[in-house]
Amino acid sequence: MRNEIELEGIIEDYLQGRLSAGEAEAFEQLRAKDPIIDHKVVAHKVFLDSLQQYGQVLSLKQKLDQVHTQIDVDTLTEELKPHPSFIINFWRNNKSAVAVAASFLLLTVFTLYSHFNGKSQDGTYDLMRREVAIIKNSQNKLVRKFNSATIPPRGPVIAAKFGGTGFALTSNGYLCTSYHVVKDADSVYVQNNKGESFKAKVAFSDPQYDIAILKIIDNSFIHLSNIPYKLKKYNSGMGENVYTLGFPKDDAVFGEGYVSSKSGHGGDTTQYQVSIPINPGNSGGPLLDNYGNIIGVITAKENQVDGATFAVKSKYVLEALNSIPQDSLGKKTAPVKKNPLQGLKRTRQIDKIQDYVYMIKVYN
């Protein structure tokens, strides 16, 4: 309990700028490493802002009461006549009061608007509780359901049940996607941007991080050229611009946004939260930064908040890739020193990576 009170005091001093430069830097490092402390800082700031706003409301009310006592209501009623001189005289005599009243009215309207649009502190916490249920119960909603019949190569006419997105990890046919896309699949096919489909199998899966690695096992598959991007080993920062390619429909769809938090749902440090529009079918898609580095894998979104998307960090894709014997991965998996996409315009980056992003089709 004592440590908790001391922590609240440090947070208070940090937000009020009372810490020294060294203390502030040390606290920011601690905050970056511990999502619980970071959450406490954000919550405390909201609390302080609410107190400040409440103080402003009280101050305006007091000023309004003072103004009310200054206005001679009887004289005002007597002089209330429909001619311009009254309006001019009234403004000259009471302009400060009118200004205060207008300010109070605007603040009241803003407060009510914020409250009913879920921007108050209570609304935010209510939303977080709903978010827990939504993410747990509807993560598979990001898997696209196919309504049209699809014919797998050399197979019977059946309908693909689920779909998602995947991207190449090696030139010899290893791909990454989300585990929930291929979970319980009887067969998996991947389709490139030319419409060519190839049979694949699940070579590795990690339900904890929602990652699966597929291996194309189709004899008609021709090895790819060198992979034009690389997996980023280190975390990206808040505000960093990102983009993704995915298959919410039969053609690849581009989406862009930015990293809004270094942690995902419920402070999950294995994920990023990104402000980016996605739809069912984007699961398993790559999340790239401006330099063409893959920083994560799209996995889920919060349906009650626009653009609140979660992506598993690329670090865990690298760990999954290391679980596969190196002799199976081929010779072209060594990391390149310079990313081939670095320095290219976004349109040129997309042109180069779209051959390496696949639609995933699941049959069961």
* Cβ–Cβ < 8 Å for 14, 41: yes
The DSSP-derived string for 301-359 is E-TTSTTEEEEEEHHHHHHHHHTS-HHHH-STTSPPSS-TTTT--HHHHHHHHGGGEEE
Helix (H) or strand (E) holding 361: strand 357-363
φ, ψ of residue 361 in degrees (nearest 5)? -120, 125
Contacts of 17 (CB under 8 A, 6+ apart): none
Whether residue 160 is predicted with pLDDT greater than 80 in this model: the reply is no
More confident residue, 213 or 16: 213
* Cβ–Cβ < 8 Å for 178, 206: no
Contacts of 123 (CB under 8 A, 6+ apart): 115, 117
* Cβ–Cβ < 8 Å for 203, 156: no
Whether residue 197 is predicted with pLDDT greater than 90 in this model: the reply is yes
List the single range of 169-178, 226-235, 253-262, 338-347 with lowest mean pLDDT. 338-347
Determine the pLDDT at residue 16: 83
Q: What angle do CA 238, 239, 243 make, to 5 degrees?
A: 105
Most confidently predicted of 83-92, 132-141, 145-154, 250-259: 250-259
Whether residue 325 is predicted with pLDDT greater than 70 in this model: the reply is yes
Q: How far is CA 181 from CA 25, 184, 186, 221, 281, in A?
A: 42, 9, 12, 22, 9
* Cβ–Cβ < 8 Å for 289, 241: yes
Q: Label residue 39 by pLDDT band (50, 70, 90).
A: low
Whether residue 320 is predicted with pLDDT greater than 70 in this model: the reply is yes
More confident residue, 58 or 316: 316
Could you tell me whether strands 293-301 and 230-231 are parallel, antiparallel, or unpaired per DSSP bridges? Answer: parallel
Determine the pLDDT at residue 176: 96
Q: Domains in the chain, please, with CATH?
A: 2-133 (no CATH), 142-364 (2.40.10.120)
Q: Label residue 113 by pLDDT band (50, 70, 90).
A: very low
pLDDT > 90 fraction of the chain, expressed in percent and rounded:
33
More confident residue, 59 or 256: 256
Determine the pLDDT at residue 358: 95
Closest CA to 231 of 175, 309, 295: 295
The whole-number average pLDDT for the span 143-148 is: 38
Q: What angle do CA 289, 292, 295 make, to 5 degrees?
A: 50
Q: Global pTM?
A: 0.57
More confident residue, 75 or 223: 223
Whether residue 328 is predicted with pLDDT greater than 90 in this model: the reply is no
Helix (H) or strand (E) holding 74: helix 73-78
Q: Label residue 36 by pLDDT band (50, 70, 90).
A: confident
The whole-number average pLDDT for the span 174-192 is: 92
pLDDT tens, 227-273? 999 899 888 999 999 999 999 888 899 999 999 999 887 788 999 99
Q: In the block, which residue shows the tokens 């042109």?
A: 351
* Cβ–Cβ < 8 Å for 340, 228: yes
Average pLDDT along the chain = 75
Determine the pLDDT at residue 264: 86
The whole-number average pLDDT for the span 154-168 is: 69
